[in-house]
Amino acid sequence: MIAPPVYAAGALCWRLIEGRMHVLLIHRTVHGDVTIPKGKVDPGESLPRTAVREVEEETGLDVALGVPLGISHYDMPDGRTKIVHYWAAEVSPEAIQKSTFVPNAEVAAIEWVTLKKARTYLTYAADVEIIDAFAALVDAGITSTFALIALRHGKAVPRTGAGPDHKRPLTARGVKQATAVVDTITAWRPLRIISSTATRCVTTVAPLSAATGIPIKQTELISQDALEAGDADIRTVIGKRIRSRKTAVLCSHGPVLPEILREIGLASGGTPNGALADAGDLETGAFSIVHLSAENPSAGIVAIERHSPLI
């Protein structure tokens, strides 16, 4: 019998020091190696939440995730395969000032180094591949990014015709999905929450709003009723979000989400494609993330992620 793989996640933390790009490496105490911050997924934890938690535990830094940088696969001494997902994470001056790092039994030291030095310092070739992926973004003029997170509402009770469709509530499973999604989405630290006015959408983002303190901006412009009536104005909503260049969550409906993703593509200077179509085809409680450059609009869409519901 083949042993199941071990999943882990981490983040390549970065910042500019005197105008030069630097990344954060850790010197591990027990293993005596130099790596990128990462660690194993806890039971019931999502990979993005693992990445944020492990960075904080190993470096004392509170970060928000940026773009995905790749996935490493390698064999462990016990024969199992370890699969590690990585994201970029910009470290703000405030995070540096609030760092709680002290040498400990797991990490002896942390060190900010240039990309060139990182390639020679790192112990493992798989880590160098992640450095190379990030360096390609730097070379393309893409460092700071923001994300538009398109979230489909949680599972709702079926249509019965007994009342208005927009009043349909979530099922018990839908309520659990709304709660479960909070830990994952907050790994990107959204600053805005926009929702269709439908009860099933507003209820889905209510736990996220409660956890972050961000008020829910309700709008008919991305509702299913408006789409079916020909009154939706998704372009206006997406245009405002692109111009603001702040990470935002947009909670809407199955028929509306493909249009939201299409408008993101058009507003970022691209054209509709298969990746955007896939990102808009979501089951209830799932979400897709479109990453865009905060400083270089001509870069278009930098990356797209799709996340299934934990429940």
* Residue at 216 is within a domain: yes
The mean of the pLDDT values for the chain is 95
pLDDT at 79 > cutoff 90: no
Q: Half-sphere exposure of residue 142, counting CA atoms within 13 Å on the CB side?
A: 23
Same domain, 175 and 99: no
* Residue at 210 is within a domain: yes
* Residue at 48 is within a domain: yes
Q: Coil, strand or helix: which one is 292? A: strand
CATH code of the domain in which 36 resides: 3.90.79.10
Same domain, 122 and 179: no
Count of domains in the chain? 2
Q: Coil, strand or helix: which one is 236? A: helix
High-pLDDT (> 70) share of the chain, %: 99
pLDDT, tens digit (0-9, with 9 covering 90-100), for 138-190? 999 999 999 999 999 999 999 876 678 899 999 999 999 999 999 999 999 99
* Residue at 192 is within a domain: yes
Same domain, 171 and 281: yes
**Domain span at residue 204?**
145-307
pLDDT, tens digit (0-9, with 9 covering 90-100), for 214-266? 999 999 999 999 999 999 999 999 999 999 999 999 999 999 999 999 999 99
Same domain, 126 and 151: no
Distance CA 231, CA 218 (A): 15
Same domain, 125 and 64: yes
Residue that is last in its domain, among 113, 139, 165: 139
* Residue at 126 is within a domain: yes
Residue that is last in its domain, among 93, 119, 139: 139
pLDDT, tens digit (0-9, with 9 covering 90-100), for 49-60? 999 999 999 999
Same domain, 264 and 216: yes
- 0.75 surpassed by pTM: yes
pLDDT at 195 > cutoff 80: yes
pLDDT-wise least confident of 7-16, 70-79, 208-217: 70-79
- Pair 292, 308: CB distance under 8 Å: no
Per-residue model confidence (pLDDT) at position 2: 73
Please, which residues have CB within 8 angstroms of residue 173's CB and are 6 or more apart in sequence?
154, 155, 311
Same domain, 169 and 46: no
pLDDT at 14 > cutoff 90: yes
Residue that is last in its domain, among 139, 163, 189: 139
pLDDT at 34 > cutoff 90: yes
* Residue at 277 is within a domain: yes
pLDDT at 1 > cutoff 80: no
For residue 126, the tally of other CB atoms under 10 A from its CB is 18
Same domain, 152 and 135: no
Six-digit token string for 103: 């040498």
CATH code of the domain in which 292 resides: 3.40.50.1240
- How large is the average pLDDT for residues 75-84? 90
* Residue at 1 is within a domain: no
- Pair 36, 25: CB distance under 8 Å: yes
Same domain, 213 and 90: no
Same domain, 84 and 205: no
Same domain, 94 and 149: no
- How large is the average pLDDT for residues 107-112? 97
Per-residue model confidence (pLDDT) at position 245: 97
pLDDT, tens digit (0-9, with 9 covering 90-100), for 21-30? 999 999 999 8
Closest by CA to 14, choosing from 142, 183, 147, 190, is: 142
18: amino acid identity, one letter? E
